[in-house]
Amino acid sequence: MATYSNQEKADMHFTCGLANGNDLEAERLYRQRFPRRHVTDQKLFERLHRCLCETGSFVTGMQDTGRGRSVRTPQVVGGILQGVGDRPDISTREVSRAVNVSHSIV
């Protein structure tokens, strides 16, 4: 999978604006203005624009953010079950804090 610098992504978004949101035209303009840069396809312009509209950022996911991902392991499941067994009225947020995992894992 290709990775692009923030400057390249900004240039892609700019050419998408010049093309009035037409991804195919944006790809053509981008290739014309930056002939030495690699572009996978016009869908890249659509995804980039959608990501900026939805998140306000070029960062598309957890990769390269420095944050780890919680994983449901047998040890985590055991900790969750023990917490609920000790206190059946405990909230899922309290369990997640006690086991030190994301609330969505519980």
Of the candidates 43, 49, 41, the residue with the CA atom closest to the CA atom of residue 18: 49
Segment holding 16, helix H or strand E? helix 6-18
Q: Backbone phi, then psi, for 56, in 5-degree steps?
A: 75, 20
Of the candidates 97, 77, 93, the residue with the CA atom closest to the CA atom of residue 85: 77
Residue pLDDT tens, the chain, 106 long: 468 888 998 899 899 899 998 989 999 999 999 999 988 777 888 888 888 888 888 776 555 555 556 677 888 888 888 888 888 898 988 988 888 888 888 8
**Dihedral sign, CA of 30, 31, 34, 38?**
positive
